[in-house]
Chains A and B, each alone.
Chain A
């Protein structure tokens, strides 16, 4: 009797394992295949290294990485204190602010771009005043940064806020009794303690900024070297043939993967020393 029951159980376990393996394989395949296909086709169809060194490609890559770096810096610099404040205070109407911060995630990027135009374009609510003093933001690299920051901030702020909320309040209380000012508590206790969440949020924000298309094209337009980031360049160059977009995409895939992997390993080390 016992043997039969045991066999039945191990059969069940085996079946479950097989099911999990199959499902995982399908998911992994679905996610990995397009990426793999890009690299494979790029190497096969084009002279990747030739195309890669062309001005169009290097300009787009440089622009993308420069603008996303600036956007990320802005998002972190402004988003971290904001997220901390949101996590610590529950003033009346804070739900409205929370919803507002989440809005860019829900809005189609083109809508976001139109909004930026209406606000900061030279006829915009703020933009017209800027125009009067000689500052025009639309169609500039600054506009690219603004569009990226707009769409990427919610990802970081949400993650950071959750990270700060999860911190044991006793830590901050004790820090205060030990003489730390509120700013000191924020910098020396809250931020380090929430670091895993902050880093995860930063990665998501960077990823969103890197892939940003709709808001960028509306507010910053598309001009090589100035506002034509990789997503814009890939889409635009598709019209002339598939080799430039393939090469560009392949490079972006490789670099992005390297950055994400490096981040994961870094996180692991950081968590270990935590």
Chain B
């Protein structure tokens, strides 16, 4: 167990080895990490991680005795808060770009470790009065679309998907512009997009596959994006530089837990793809 912890620390300390995912075949934590009891950390994580991280957090608290508080939001918003000095111990954005910006601003100590992958999906309200059946329908006139702001990871990914589609003869080069012309709001995070679709205030929205949770499943219908056009979202996780010094071990333990079998299993159960 101590070996695992040491390795995890070593890995996260290797800055140039940024995208080497960590897998351990050691069982989850043991009572050796019980010395974290009484410590408490804050984790800034992308909104799309809400359900999965809440579950992970509970498990982590049970196993280590350390407390975890989450702040979920748009990754770019969270990063901006970190830059302004918000106290957090761990940062887990939904793309490498935000992690990179965070590293440039020296609020995280590395480019982080990838712990999960995600895919995009289009959701439409159950009523679907605009009749959006295929992805091409998104370009139809008078279709109201909600996308996240382009500075938010899922907004950026969505626009990448539109680029991919516009390069495909099946959609035509004008596809992206047509779809963007239908965008009525640039949401601050992916949950806002999902809410707008769920409330049937817009006709379609681009979210992560993991955002189609049981809670909203009955209010929305999914329109799949073929793999060839889809974008793989990469989620890195790293320690912040302005975290509590005395909780650094707890923060590191959290990261390790996320990367552990147990953590990965939870992520996968929520629809994330393995970080292979």
Contact = CB atoms under 8 A, between A and B. Distances in A.
Interface of A: 117, 121-123, 136, 138-139, 217, 220-224, 227-228, 236, 238-240
Given A123-B201, A239-B149, 8 more contacts: A121-B199, A122-B200, A123-B199, A221-B146, A221-B185, A222-B185, A222-B186, A239-B77
A76 to B, nearest CB: 29
A123 B201 CA distance: 7
A236 B192 CA distance: 14
Contacts of A122: 200-201
Interface of B: 74, 76-77, 79-80, 144, 146, 149, 151-152, 183-188, 196, 199-202
Residue among B76, B185, B187 with max Cβ neighbours from chain A (10 Å)? B185
A138 B76 contact: no
Contacts of A222: 149, 185-188
A238 B149 contact: no
Residue among B76, B80, B200 with max Cβ neighbours from chain A (10 Å)? B80
Contact of A138 (B151, B183, B187, B201): B201
B184 A223 contact: yes
Contacts of A239: 74, 76-77, 79-80, 149, 151-152
Contacts of B149: 222, 236, 239
B186 A240 contact: no
A228 B184 CA distance: 11
Contacts of B151: 236, 239-240
A139 B77 contact: no
Contact of A139 (B79, B152, B200, B201): B201
26 contacts: A117-B201, A121-B199, A121-B201, A122-B201, A123-B199, A138-B201, A139-B144, A139-B184, A139-B185, A139-B201, A217-B188, A220-B185, A221-B185, A221-B186, A221-B187, A222-B186, A222-B187, A223-B186, A227-B185, A228-B186, A236-B151, A238-B80, A239-B79, A239-B149, A239-B151, A239-B152
Contacts of B146: 221
Given A138-B201, A222-B149, A223-B183, A236 B144 contact: no
Contacts of A220: 185
A123 B200 contact: yes
A122 B201 CA distance: 6
Contacts of B183: 223
Contacts of A238: 77, 80
B85 to A, nearest CB: 13
Nearest to A136: B144
Q: Which 6 A-B pairs have the closest CB atoms?
A: A221-B185, A239-B76, A139-B184, A239-B80, A238-B80, A121-B201
A138 B187 CA distance: 14
